[in-house]
Chains A and B, each alone.
Chain A
Amino acid sequence: MENCCGEAVISANIGTAQPSDNEKLIEQAYEALAGGGSENGGKVSANNGKPSKWEKWKDNFKRRGWILLFILPALVYVLIFCYAPMYGILIAFQNYHQGDSIISGDTVWVGWDNFNLFFSDPNFWNYFSNTFLLCLLGFLVGFPLPIIVALLLNSVRAKKVKKGLQILYYAPHFISLVVMVGMLKMIFGSDGLLDKIAGGNGLELFLKPEAFRPLFIFSGNWQDFGWSAIIYLAALSGVDPALHEAAKVDGASRFRRIFSVDLPAIAPTIVMLMILSIGNLMSCGYEKVILMQTDGNRVTSEIISTFVYNFGLGADGKPGLGTAAGLFNSVINVALLIIANFTSKKLANQSMW
């Protein structure tokens, strides 16, 4: 079938036509074939032999529909492992037990009971503010840091030094959370290095509620400030050197040029990442918090997602309550994302969709 239009296309391809012209010619050839080809002869639409949108679509599907095969496995995976759990949110309205099927004859519906249980938990506001504070403080430190690092790295002129620093700065990103928290404990924990240097017995930072957030945020930034700078570095590498030269001629110092050349160049990236970060202001992964959590620091370290992990799972967990708490958290996230996106649309005329 594809060969039947070969001749027309080849003739269009001959000569010195620009690529864009080529494209048009090919398209025309296809259109002519789709509309008037012998195989499609019976389906010529009424409007002057031009194929309708639907016919075009059908022709495209016949000719190149095989491409669907490439997306199919991923799509099926996403439907099973992402969309089926969304359907599983129904658990929040049930008296569900580990291993039950989500809907069966025995399902006990309890309405909003699980939500009421969660909201009336005496520690609810504690979980809520812990989640929000941990993420917000993390954002306040972790958002500007990579921008500063990228701007500084970008002004390093020795290429090899820059490259070497980059490789070094990215490296901690690949260290696992278990190792990260292990190292943290070896340095800041009881009988850790700092403890000994400070004169032995007594820092016990991992048992102190007020030390949890600084440790969490410090280690998070230690791991990721370099990695997060990549995207800004890439944006900076696209800056036309002529802009810098021009600013230089005008007498701008290197420091001044950060504000008049570099920052404007990465502003769209900054806005985009800020929208994304604000959409994540209520989700800082529980995997690391769980590793750092002790009975001593639970007052500040119990966030909504660790609450789900600690009380919603296992044979004696409460899955309904866990689902309700998780849903509450992700609804806030989506709301934050939409608000952030709306605000940036109004203020900076930039939006994600």
Chain B
Amino acid sequence: MDAKELKTLKKKNKIKDSKTDYVYYAICAFILFLLAVIIIYPLYYIVIASVSDPSAVVNGEVWLYPIKMTFSGYANLFDRPDVWRGYFNTLLYTVVGTVFNIVLTIPAGWALSRDYLPFRKIIIPLLIITMFFGGGLVPYIAVCTALGLYENPLILIIGGGVSVYNVFMCKSFFQTNVPKEVLEAAQIDGAGEIRTFFDIVLPLAKSIISVMILFYAVGHWNNYIDALIFQVDTEAWPLQTVLKALLETTAGEGEVAAEQFLISKQVQFTSIIIATVPILVLYPMIEKHFGQGVLVGSFK
């Protein structure tokens, strides 16, 4: 009996769905579809509003499709040096900051996953405590100030350098995904801890590294508040902080102001899009790594 026959036989013998099952599946499909619409619509609205005539948007005419399509919003965005400077700053902070995060996190996760790590019984509680208790915002700022990070853009790279939660995610990834046999073989070959890590562990860690890159990069990309808390100079503001200021601009008075108001409204829509697209492009590329082993493990 070949595989195909077996399959059809299996299908025949399968217990058929009952009528209540069909009702269940229909309701289930309806709810999931509804949720999908609820997620998509606001995103869709921002997109169509960004390419519509701003006066139509302000009058509430745009809600299903773009009206008087125009790309002037995107063109106007080019006249905003603050937005582009923010974009550049954010790129810099995200790339350098994420490298810093990865260099700290991945090796730490590896070390914690080894039960022969000296002082392991002290180090693990030391890390876990920080997940539930901290000094709070003011002492954190005081410590960073003492380190010379106040009014210093460097905080936007260094801040949040290690997420203990992520370290534990790496730890459980390594615990389940690095075969013992390979490590033993390496040891027999005389590979020390450092060579083992670089030659054997790292090549096996691609999926956890990509997930960590995504998490940390999104964290840097979306961070707006550190620049405000640490009073970083506006020139060094990241995109999200610029965007916050831009979204909070309000209408002025008079005819020129009205014109300005429309333009700034439109720029708000377009800037939201250019600030979000990179993340929404990066994320599906890494999504396939959200396997069981990567995300579940953080809870033992």
**A residues with CB within 8 A of B:** 2-3, 6, 9-10, 13, 19, 22-23, 26, 57, 60-61, 64-71, 73-75, 77-78, 80-89, 91, 96, 98-102, 149, 152-153, 155-156, 165, 167-172, 174-179, 181-183, 185-187, 191, 193, 195-197, 200, 222, 225-226, 230-231, 234-235, 237-238, 248-249, 253-255, 269, 272-273, 279, 287, 290-291, 305, 308-309, 312-314, 319, 322-323, 326-327, 329-330, 333-334, 337
Q: Are A179 and B138 in touch, CB under 8 angstroms? A: no
In the assembly, what is the distance between CA of A323 and CA of B104, in Å?
Answer: 29
- 16 CB contacts below 8 A, A to B, read A65-B118, A85-B135, A86-B139, A89-B135, A96-B142, A99-B150, A174-B218, A176-B279, A186-B46, A196-B58, A222-B42, A254-B21, A254-B25, A255-B21, A309-B229, A323-B135
Q: Which of B40, B58, B112, B133 has the most CB of A within 10 A?
A: B133
Partner of A74, one of B35, B132, B162: B162
Q: Are B224 and A178 in touch, CB under 8 angstroms? A: yes
Nearest-CB residue, chain A, relative to B201 = A70
Given A186-B49, A330-B134, A334-B133, are A168 and B39 also a contact pair (CB < 8 Å)? yes
Q: Does B256 contact A (CB under 8 A)?
A: no
Going nearest first, the 4 A-B pairs with the smallest beta carbon separation are: A196-B60, A88-B139, A85-B135, A326-B136
Interface size on B, as a range, is 35 or more
Known contacts A200-B60, A231-B299; 10 additional CB pairs below 8 A are A78-B127, A81-B159, A89-B136, A176-B240, A179-B275, A182-B247, A191-B58, A290-B225, A308-B136, A323-B139
Q: Closest CB of chain A to B14's CB: distance in Å?
A: 9
Q: Closest CB of chain B to A51's CB: distance in Å?
A: 15
Q: Are B134 and A82 in touch, CB under 8 angstroms? A: yes
Given A152-B31, A187-B45, are A178 and B243 also a contact pair (CB < 8 Å)? yes
Q: Are B20 and A309 in touch, CB under 8 angstroms? A: no
Q: Are A61 and B118 in touch, CB under 8 angstroms? A: yes
Which residues of chain B in 137-162 are interfacial with respect to chain A, using CB atoms and an 8 Å cutoff?
Answer: 137-147, 150, 159, 161-162
